[in-house]
Structures are given as structure tokens and as C-alpha cells.
Structure 1
Amino acid sequence: MTDTPQRTRPLRVLAAMSGGVDSAVAAARAAEAGHDVTGVHLALSANPQSFRTGARGCCTIEDSRDARRAADVIGIPFYVWDLADRFREDVVEDFVAEYEAGRTPNPCLRCNEKIKFAALLDKALALGFDAVCTGHYAQVVLAQDGTRELHRASDMAKDQSYVLGVLDERQLAHAMFPLGDTVTTKDEIRAEAERRGLAVAKKPDSHDICFIADGDTQGFLARRLGKAEGDIVDESGTKLGTHEGAYGFTIGQRKGLRIGTPAADGKPRYVLDISPVDNTVTVGPAAALDVTALTAVKPRWCGTAPTAPATYTAQLRAHGGETEVTAAPVDGELRVTFTEPVRGVAPGQAIVLYDGTRVVGSATIASTTRAPAAAV
């Protein structure tokens, strides 16, 4: 049973309107369901022109205007809230610090945790709203014991539960995802927006990082952290080349290594390790990326925290598949063992655990264990 925070009376709902088609249709559906909806656009940059434009965005002047026009068509009040300082500190600065430390963060997940369902939700509750509504594709389900669970969207192709895996039970109790329980294509969502007279119906999607205007993550980091030449080495420590900043690499990266000397076996090489301490990037064969276990920190549970080892499926990136794991909380950390080795696992990424379609919780990967034959 899909559930908004409650069904017995109309709710006072604050609809977070990014300026994209999904959040506009979500707000329209909430209003159509009889809720008392107010739209709000989050101003997340002190200099909106520096953020990406022409996409689904959530940060530009263009997006703010699109959100306002959508609210006018829906017939709901609309406001712009300035959360630029919080966004800079909790998302942008965190993003830079994580890369500087040799990790690979997910800024959208951090934004959901720190901005949309912390700063925004807290302010909404203080103002007397019952729920925050967003255009995410996920479901809040009412369990038999009266608690609320986070589940994958009905349409797995659009499921966004991975980036919501940081939400705790209190936050879920005040979350509304009107798009999550319908199996519709994006074309159908756009058609619905057009039927409702929403001009954002044809607005293109974007999967880029909203606060990097030109899409050049490495260039953005170089401007923030400065160039720092270091060595690219193989597994034996032999120098193969140089780089201008270890922060410009991620575990599992194949392209852009600019190594002139081919591998002895002629096969591609991948980034195996990033060491910010000595500014060294280690590369090697694909087999050396096999990970059998990991330790993750800062676990957040979408309900009651597990107390014993259990078998789950895990998702390791926003658009990745599932893999079977055994996971257990140990001394405030999460210890995970993979049934089969996986690749492309990097510290800083989030691991989200699932029990069927239910999101159990998430944690930030701190370290990995490689397969013995591929130890670096």
C-alpha cells in the first residue's frame, strides 16, 4: 500500500519545485489529490548564473522562473527560499573535500540528506506543513506496524531510491513522492505535463552536477584545489607518467590516463588506487579491481537498524544494478561481504542496502578489500 504521510485528511504540503517536469507534475498531482499545496524553489547559489542552465536543474534563475510559471498554472502559492549558504557548505564544499581526500562522493545524495530532507523539511515543519513533496521516483509504504518504509519506484527504469537511502524514519513520515507508484514512461510524464498546461513539458533532462556549469568536473576541482603534479605508477611502483592532481581520477577510471607506455599484455589499464598523501595514482589491469568486501561508515537506516548479519542486495551507484551481499553493523560501521566480486567500488560512494524493494539503509564506503589474486 503506497502511502503519503497520512490519508485521513488533506495535508499541508510544501512542494519542492526544481523547475523541471518531474517536480511540476508531482506538485500538480498533490494538489489534484486535494492537499493544500504550496510550491517552493530553492535558491542554491549566491550566483545563479554560474550554475548549469537549460536542463532539469535546480539552481538557476531560469529554473526559478520555470518553477514559478508551473505553480501559477497549477494554481498554488509559490515562494523562493534562499538556502545557498547551506548548499555551499553541505554539498559543494563536501564534494570538493571528498575529492581532495581521494574519495568519490555523490552530491545529489548529499543534497537530499542535508538540504531537501533536513534544512527544507525542518523549515517546513516549523511553518506548520505536514509533508515535503518532490518529483523523485520512489515510494513511501505504510507497514503493518504503522511505520513507514522507503521502497523502489514501481517503474524500476526510473527508480531513484538510491539517492534517497539517507532518509530516516522521521523524514519518511513527512515525505511525499507522487510519481513513485505509477508505471509511466518519461514521455507519458511529459504528455501529462502538456495536458496540464505546464510549459516545462519539453524541458530536457540533465544528469550533470548542477553546480558545475560547464560539466567539467576536473576543471572545477582544479580551480578550487589548484594543480598539483604527481606520479602515475603501476602496481610495482614503476612510474608510467604524471598527472596534474590526483583529485581528477576515480577508482575504475580507464579513459584520460594519458599513459604513453602500453601495458606488457597490451590490455587497458584502470585506476586502482588514489593516494592523496603522496599525490600518487596507481593503475593496473581490470582484474585488480575485483572487490570482495568493504567497510562503510555513517550508516543511516530507513527504519529500525539491523542488529545481526543478514543477506541483502546492494546498489553501489545511482544508475547501477544490484548485487547480493551479507552485511552487518559492527561498532557503528557497516561490514559488507559480496557473494561475487564486484568492480568500480570507490571510497566515498554510497552503498544502499535493499530487502526486496524495501530500502534498508545506506552508508558511505570507507575502504575495500580486493580479491587476493588482485591485491594492490
Structure 2
Amino acid sequence: MMKKKVLVGMSGGVDSTVSALILKEDGYDVEGVYMRLHTKPGYHEIHQARAQKAADFVGIKLHILDLEDIFKDKVFDPFIKTYEEGETPNPCALCNRNLKFGEMVKFADKIGADYIATGHYIQHDGKYLIQAEDDTKDQSYFLFYIDKSIVPRLLFPMGTRKKSDIKQLAASIKGLESFALQPESSEICFVETTYTDILKDYVNVDNVGEVLDMQGNVVGEHKGYMYYTIGKRKGFTVKGAHDPHYVVSIDPKKNQIVVGQKEDLACYSVTLRDINMFDDRTEFESTVKLRYRTKAVKCSVKIDNGKAEVKLYEPVFGVAKGQAAVFYDDNKLIGGGWIS
């Protein structure tokens, strides 16, 4: 009987390397792929070499996919545009849909791979994505936007494992020790320092503007609206203020930010666009995460005509337009959308 072929996304990191090793030991016909995405100077020279070293260690073929143009169109340009519009982007979710679980799937079809695997910390049951056993590393939030039709073809060897165990395993295998010692990758791979350092190359970020209070009075100034996201409490002046002030809203057209007290950040409902559900429910109760690394809160959801109205059963602070809202039924990811 022919072995089932699996294409593994290889980054050169410990998680994808150990994933490839586990799948090979489990009897799959494994091939790897390294995806060249952004154009950050020197990044691919280092990471492609690591991915090749990992593939050589596992003993598998490594394909190189040049996706820089698609990445620019589908991920990087929307990243810039979202900040220009005074919102907060989530480039990882767009990258997962369009490239890591989009272009990679197309390439898997091209080489006749039955399955697609990555080193993400997540699980699935054939229909729904399920949070990882290691809740400190769970990446389900960033995968809410992938096409549900590919879920049965996905393999996530890290989903039932702890990150600490993976590092320990890598450290114990001769030839993999250096992978165990690599630092954690940054949350957004093309941002090395701050996102504004990236924006400065494409748009005018430094543009002094007015700070308004909740009543519309000018109370200070800021250095340019793109420096701020909802909930930020530093980097602007408020005359005579003794208590902390937080960014409550951003007006990109007027280059103004509105600030208030922490209670002014409380949000009890959100509207979502571009809904992506893993089943056909349109009116339900669930929990929702409105930002990565935040607690999921109980809510009711009503979906109609591609939009969702979400009522929160407790306030969430610092909700930002452009971020993802992801619905869970216990540990099962059932869908989500973009906060508008």
C-alpha cells in the first residue's frame, strides 16, 4: 500500500522540524516547503538556510515557494492600509488563509500530497478547529479565517503536545540540539522592532494632531494617529491630567485621537464583517475572543447578510476595529469575523 503523502510547512524552527520528524516516524511520505513571504532584508537567507538544515536532518525534500508578490497583495498592503484607516490589523490571520493554508494547499495539490501539516499549536476533529492542549501556545485565534473545506486534510502534530516537551525532545536528539535553543519567533514575522518603523517607509506617520476628550474638547496633542491603537495610554499629552488616559477612538481623516478614562473603553457589543463559519448556524450563544491573549467572554451572535451582531454579556476593554472576533463553543472554534 502506498504511503500517504504530507507536505509540511518548514520555517526552520523547532515546531515545524519536530512535526516533520514525527510525521516521518509515523510512516508518512513527507516533503517540506519553505515559503518566501515578505522582503525583510536578510530574513530569508537565515530562515531558508535553517529550513534546509531541518529538512536535511529529517531526510526529506525541501521545496521553495516564492510568494512575495502574493504576500504583498494579500497581507502586507492590507496591513499598511488598515493602519492608514485608523484600525488595528491582524496580518497573521490573513496570511494563514491566503498563503500558509491557501497557496500551500494549491502546491500540495500540485505535488499530489494528501495532507498539509504545520507546526501550529492547534487540533481539529475533521470539521472544527480545536484549541491546543497547551493553552499557553494555542494558535486557533489566528486560524479562524481559513477555508473550512481543507480542515480534513490538515495535520497538526503539535496540537496534543506541550511546547516545553517539544524543546526537551529536540534537545535530546543528536543533531537537533541547536533547534531547541532557537529564540521564539516574533508574533508578526516582518516586524522586527515596531510596526511604525515599517509604516514610515510607506506613509507619513509623523504628523502632529489634536487630542480630544470625550466631550470633543481639544486637551492636548499627539505625534500622528498611526502611532496609536485603541487602549494605548502613552505617547500623547493631556493638559492638566492626573489620572491615566487611554485612546478610545481614532479619526484618521482629521488626524485626531479621542482619549478617556478606562471605563470609557468598555465595549458591550460589536459588529463584524466578512464572517467565516465552520458550520451553518446563524443565531447562537458562544464565547468570543476579541483579541489574542485575552479571555473569551460569553456572548450572543446573530449573523445576517454577511455581517454579525455580537452582544457581550460582560464588558471588554480596548476593542479595536480591524481585529478578529473568534467564536468558541467550549474549546471548539466555530467561526469568526472582523471587527468593523
Q: TM-score range by the shorter chain?
A: over 0.9
CA contact (8 A) 2:82 2:88 kept: yes
Q: How many residues align?
A: 337
| Aligned mates of 1:299, 1:96 — CA distance in 2 | 22
User: Which residue is equivalent to 2:252?
Assistant: 276
| Aligned mates of 1:25, 1:225 — CA distance in 2 | 40
User: Which residue is equivalent to 1:106?
Assistant: 90
How far off is 1:166 after superposition? Answer: 1.0
How far off is 1:195 after superposition? Answer: 2.8
Q: Structure 1 counterpart of 2:332, which letter?
A: R
CA contact (8 A) 1:167 1:301 kept: no
Name whichever of 215-224 and 24-33 sits farther off. Answer: 215-224
Q: Does 1:285 align with 2:269?
A: no
**Structure 2 regions of 5+ residues with no counterpart?**
none
Alpha carbons of 1:330 and 1:26: their partners in 2 closer, same or farther (altered >3 Å)?
same
Q: Structure 2 counterpart of 1:134, which letter?
A: T
Q: Does 1:299 align with 2:275?
A: yes
Q: Structure 1 counterpart of 2:338, which letter?
A: T
User: Which residue is equivalent to 1:362?
Assistant: 336
| Aligned mates of 1:48, 1:26 — CA distance in 2 | 28
Q: Structure 2 counterpart of 1:168, which letter?
A: D
Secondary structure of the residue that 2:49 maps to in structure 1? helix
Q: Which has the higher contact order (CA 8 A, sep 6+)?
A: 1
User: Which residue is equivalent to 1:118?
Assistant: 102
Alpha carbons of 1:337 and 1:81: their partners in 2 closer, same or farther (altered >3 Å)?
same
Q: Does 1:83 align with 2:62?
A: no
TM-score with structure 1 setting the length: 0.86
Deviations 1:201-237 (A, max 9, x none): 1100033422123x12122213311133321111122
> Superposition RMSD on alpha carbons, in Å?
1.6
Match of 1:261 among 195, 218, 239: 239
How far off is 1:285 after superposition? Answer: 0.6
Match of 2:231 among 252, 259, 282: 252
The residue correspondences of 1:155-170 to structure 2 (distance < 5 A) are 155-170=134-149
Q: Does 1:188 align with 2:162?
A: no
CA contact (8 A) 2:211 2:238 kept: no
How far off is 1:99 after superposition? Answer: 0.7
CA contact (8 A) 2:300 2:311 kept: yes
Q: Does 1:24 align with 2:1?
A: no
User: Which residue is equivalent to 1:15?
Assistant: 8
Q: Structure 2 counterpart of 1:35, which letter?
A: Y
How far off is 1:241 after superposition? Answer: 2.6
**Structure 1 regions of 5+ residues with no counterpart?**
1-7, 52-59, 143-147, 367-376
Secondary structure of the residue that 1:179 maps to in structure 2? helix
How far off is 1:46 after superposition? Answer: 4.0
How far off is 1:331 after superposition? Answer: 1.8
Q: Structure 2 counterpart of 1:76, which letter?
A: I
User: Which residue is equivalent to 1:231?
Assistant: 210
Match of 1:172 among 117, 134, 151: 151
| Aligned mates of 2:257, 2:26 — CA distance in 1 | 54
Deviations 1:215-272 (A, max 9, x none): 1212221331113332111112222333332121101111222x15232xx2100000
| Aligned mates of 1:10, 1:101 — CA distance in 2 | 50
TM-score with structure 2 setting the length: 0.94
Q: Structure 2 counterpart of 1:94, which letter?
A: P
| Aligned mates of 2:129, 2:306 — CA distance in 1 | 22
How far off is 1:173 after superposition? Answer: 2.0
User: Which residue is equivalent to 1:317?
Assistant: 291
User: Which residue is equivalent to 1:212?
Assistant: 191
| Aligned mates of 2:299, 2:36 — CA distance in 1 | 39
| Aligned mates of 2:287, 2:119 — CA distance in 1 | 25
CA contact (8 A) 2:248 2:318 kept: no
Match of 2:79 among 89, 95, 116: 95
User: Which residue is equivalent to 1:342?
Assistant: 316
Identity of aligned residues (%): 35
